[in-house]
Amino acid sequence: MSRHALREEVLEANLELVRRGLVVFTFGNASGYDPESGKVVIKPSGVPYEQLTPESLVVTDLDGKILEGSLRPSSDLPTHLALYRAFPGVQGVVHTHSRYATAWAQAGVEIPCLGTTHADYFCGPIPITPAMSAEEIQSGYEWNTGQVIIRRFGGIDPLLTPAVLVAGHAPFCWGASVTDAAHTAVVVEEIAHMAYLTVTIRADAESLSDTLRDKHFLRKHGSSAYYGQKS
């Protein structure tokens, strides 16, 4: 993908977050990564979405060195970089403070797989990170946010579980492209909303059986998928 095309895609993903009601003011950020050139394109920090243009986005390398752009990158850039470095195949990262997903993060509770809507996208709960230590917070906070996510994903395939709740904070989502990551951010909020309603109807609502969870996940993912059109 040309760098210009990546700028356009990252801009569009950022604007999708606004259209879907996932962000207010300057909350949230989306980035895309091109492994061929090693370049990351990310939203500038604290700039209103309606002022974003492809040219206002910031381009860095995987060390966070600014290659193009006159604005500061999103302060969460180091978290994005940590995820690109640790999760092979991930080429888009989206962070929002969407209400329902953030509420689960604030409650310190993973989102259980309570229904087939969830299982269509995630083959298990949406995990939550453990608390960060005072040291991790005080120095290199955003980088360490990435590290606590990565530690939490020991033994979990990030492409089968493309989102996490950072405890006390909010969700991070990712995918094979920034478009996919933004799509996942919308779905995570929808799933979080339904799970909220479910546990407030019935606090001890049970998770889906493994059989039903796998059935729905595999209808849409993997070699036996039969949802959607042949591509």
Window 197 to 216, contacts with its own copies (CB under 8 A)? 197-202, 205-206, 208-209, 211-212, 215
Tell whether residue 66 is a contact of its own copies (CB under 8 A). Answer: no
Catalytic site includes residue 227: yes
Give CA–CA dist 70/58, Å, rounded: 7
Indicate left, alpha or beta for 58 from its phi (over 0: left) and psi (-120 to 50: alpha).
beta
x/- binding map, residues 178-197, to its own copies, per CB under 8 A? -----x--xx--x--xxxxx
Does 52 engage in binding with its own copies (CB under 8 A)? no
The answer to whether residues 32 and 9 touch, using CB atoms and an 8 Å cutoff, is yes
Segment 131 to 150, residues that bind its own copies, using CB under 8 A:
131-132, 134, 137-138, 141
- Interacting positions 21-50 with its own copies (CB under 8 A): 24-27, 44-47
Which among 34, 120, 196, 214 is annotated as catalytic? Answer: 120
CA distances from residue 133 to 8, 137, 168, 217 in whole angstroms, order as listed: 38, 6, 13, 35
Burial call 69-108: b when 16+ CB within 10 Å, e when fewer: beeebbebbbbbbbbbeebeebbbbbbbbbebbbebbeee
Residue with tokens 């974003």, as numbered in its chain:
52
* CB of 134 vs its own copies, minimal distance in Å: 5
Binding positions for its own copies, rule: CB under 8 A = 24-27, 44-47, 71-72, 75, 97, 99-100, 102-109, 114-117, 131-132, 134, 137-138, 141, 168-170, 183, 186-187, 190, 193-202, 205-206, 208-209, 211-212, 215, 219, 226-230
